[in-house]
Homo-oligomer: A and B are copies of this chain.
Amino acid sequence: MAASGEEVRNMQVILKDYVAGFPKESDMNVKTGSIKLKLAEDESSDSAVLVKNLYLSCDPYMRGRMTNSPVDDPDFSPFTPGSPIVGHGVAENLRNSSKFTLLMCPFPYYTGILGMPGMTAYFGFYQVCSPKKGERVYISAASGAVGQLVGQFAKLMGCYVVGSAGSKEKVELLKSKFGFDDAFNYKEEHDLVAALKRYFPEGIDIYFENVGGKMLDAVLLNMRFHGRIAACGMISQYNLQQPEGIQNITTVVFKRIRLEGFIIFDYFDQYPKFLDFVLPYIREGKIVYVEDITEGLERGPSALIGLFSGRNVGKQVVKVTNE
């Protein structure tokens, strides 16, 4: 059992400076050094923990924190250049040598289906989208950490579900593994308005928005009256110096559309409710989850920036250690 005062090897991913445009590996440094373990509280206190990181989560929102735009929200405050990049992950408490088994699910699940992305899909779909059986649901970035779950939740509810993704492999995954009714590769469509019209000849009731930009504009023209758009993220815009303008926003008026942004941090107190819902489905194999696990923290920068070119297939996780 590791003890306070012990000197241990420690690897860090350092943000060199604030980033403009697409982040590159060279915007980060991987630094290996050593740190002296230190307990914040009295050594004898039961509540004092000493953590060893096992898995780290790569999430699109982290891009915002690589820019020096002050916001009022501590969850989105800028990273500090010269300091490690901060994120969510799964850690072991070294003060308790029996590894906690966490509800019998694989550890990386707590960065994905049982973590932020899972909650995002659950509360975003069930609470923000106000779905009804039989409604037509469209999901962009549909094979990603959140999208793959939204699609499965929507199918469980009896919706018609179509997703888009950026490769043939991902499109196949949507149809064969996640049970989407249909799926398409947005990179092969030069006319997104026409593509959506093809998959939704009667229009879209619910759009789970992960990408923004031209896709949002095309969706607006294909929404049905009283449609709902849950704006979970707009990853296509995060690396642009000047965002793409949305031309078709006036359609929200005459189509009576609700476009609603949400952030999962606001729902953390409802985590037990989410677990009660999702765990039985996982145990019965009725919901599956695909992860893209990168081995080694030294490959963390590459894993993180891969999110913005869509290189990951499924939830991007970094496995910190094999020890």
Contacts and interface: CB of A to CB of B under 8 A. Distances in A.
A259 B260 CA distance: 6
Interface stretch (A19-27, A245-253, A287-295): A245-253
A250 B73 contact: no
A275 B212 CA distance: 41
B216 A254 contact: no
12 contacts: A64-B254, A243-B249, A245-B245, A245-B246, A246-B246, A252-B259, A253-B261, A256-B260, A256-B262, A258-B260, A258-B261, A260-B260
Interface of A: 64, 71-73, 76, 212, 216, 225, 231-234, 237, 242-263, 266
* Copies of this chain assembled into the complex: 2
A225 B72 contact: yes
A261 to B, nearest CB: 4
Most chain B CB inside 10 Å of its own CB: which residue of A76, A234, A252? A252
Nearest to A249: B246
A253 B233 contact: yes
Given A212-B249, A256-B262, A257-B260, 16 more contacts: A71-B254, A231-B252, A237-B250, A243-B247, A243-B248, A243-B250, A252-B259, A252-B260, A252-B261, A253-B261, A256-B260, A256-B261, A256-B266, A258-B258, A258-B259, A259-B260
Pairs A-B, 9 closest by C-beta atoms: A245-B245, A252-B261, A253-B261, A258-B260, A246-B246, A259-B259, A234-B250, A231-B253, A246-B249
Given A247-B242, A249-B249, A263 B254 contact: yes
Contacts of A254: 64, 71, 73, 76, 261, 263
Contacts of A250: 212, 234, 237, 243
A197 to B, nearest CB: 14
A253 B234 contact: yes
B266 A261 contact: no
